[in-house]
Amino acid sequence: MVASDLLLILAPTIQMTQEKIITLVDTIATKALGEKLGAALGPGSVILLTGDLGAGKTTLVQGIGAGLGIRELIASPTFTLVNEYHEGRIPLYHLDLYRLETGEIENLYLENYWEGKEVTPGITAIEWSSRLPYLPIDYITIDLQPDPSAGRVAIIKTTETVSLPPL
Ligand SMILES: Nc1ncnc2c1ncn2[C@@H]1O[C@H](COP(=O)(O)OP(=O)(O)O)[C@@H](O)[C@H]1O
Ligand SMILES: [Mg+2]
């Protein structure tokens, strides 16, 4: 085998991102998905959430909090921009960009959260993440969509080097 053959074999693997589609029949299922992520993900993990109002983004973050061992009530940080929780295994930074324009976000140094600069590295979960003007190198995206059965469907993707726990 010559080097170019090897590249042909490797190239699709290198470019591929993981994709998982999970049906969430009810609120409990959304929380359970979050819990698995919260129990397993390491410091510096970033979860970019998309999906309309009422899609279940905050519910998923509540599950992440439970998986981290946070007992405090997790509510949407729509007016506060970011809520920080420090009582779990690692910190949870819960951001909601709903009320912000992309141009306003640039000067907020949100990357400090996922780079662990001036904060203890933890999990950063971002609602309305499509408003971010820049992205971390590695992240997980979770798009929540309504399912015809009245539940939700989660479409989960990751950048190359992120490994997901069994979900
Ligand atoms: N899989 C699901 N099936 C049905 N309802 C759900 C599901 N997941 C969450 N919900 C419900 O959807 C509502 C809105 O959820 P929320 O997490 O506040 O949405 P968002 O943060 O995306 O606006 C809540 O009442 C929640 O209980
Ligand atoms: Mg919300």
Percent of the chain's residues with pLDDT above 70: 90
pLDDT digits (tens, 9 = 90+) for 10-23: 544 444 477 999 99
Mean pLDDT of 148-162: 93
Q: What are residue 46's DSSP bridge partners?
A: 124
pLDDT digits (tens, 9 = 90+) for 62-106: 999 999 999 999 998 878 899 999 999 999 999 999 998 888 898
Q: Measured between alpha carbons, how far is 135 from 138 in angstroms, rounded to an integer?
A: 8
Q: List the structure tokens of 36.
A: 């698995």
Half-sphere exposure of 19 (CA within 13 A, CB side): 6
Establish whether residue 59 lines the binding site of ligand 1, counting it when its CB lies within 6 angstroms of any ligand atom: yes
pLDDT at residue 8 is higher than 90: no
Q: What separation in angstroms does the CA of 65 have from each of 33, 61, 69, 100?
A: 11, 6, 6, 24
| Ligand 1 nearest atom to the CA of residue 59, by list position | 17
- Residue 92 is predicted with a pLDDT of 98
| Ligand 1 nearest atom to the CA of residue 31, by list position | 8
Q: State which residues have CB under 5 angstroms from ligand 2, the bound ion.
A: 57-58, 76, 127
CATH number 2.40.37.10 is the correct assignment for the domain at 18-158: no
Ligand 1 centre distance from Cα of residue 28 (Å): 10
| Ligand 1 nearest atom to the CA of residue 29, by list position | 1
Ligand 2 centre distance from Cα of residue 127 (Å): 6
Domain ranges of the chain: 18-158
Establish whether residue 49 lines the binding site of ligand 1, counting it when its CB lies within 6 angstroms of any ligand atom: no
For every residue of the chain, DSSP letters joined together read: --HHHHHHHHHHHHH---EEEEEE-SHHHHHHHHHHHHHHPPTT-EEEEE--TTSSHHHHHHHHHHHHT--S-----TTTSEEEE-SSSS-EEEEE-TT--HHHHGGG-THHHHHTSSS---EEEEETGGG-SS--SS-EEEEEEE-TTSSEEEEEEE-TT--PPP-
| Ligand 1 nearest atom to the CA of residue 96, by list position | 21
Establish whether residue 51 lines the binding site of ligand 1, counting it when its CB lies within 6 angstroms of any ligand atom: yes
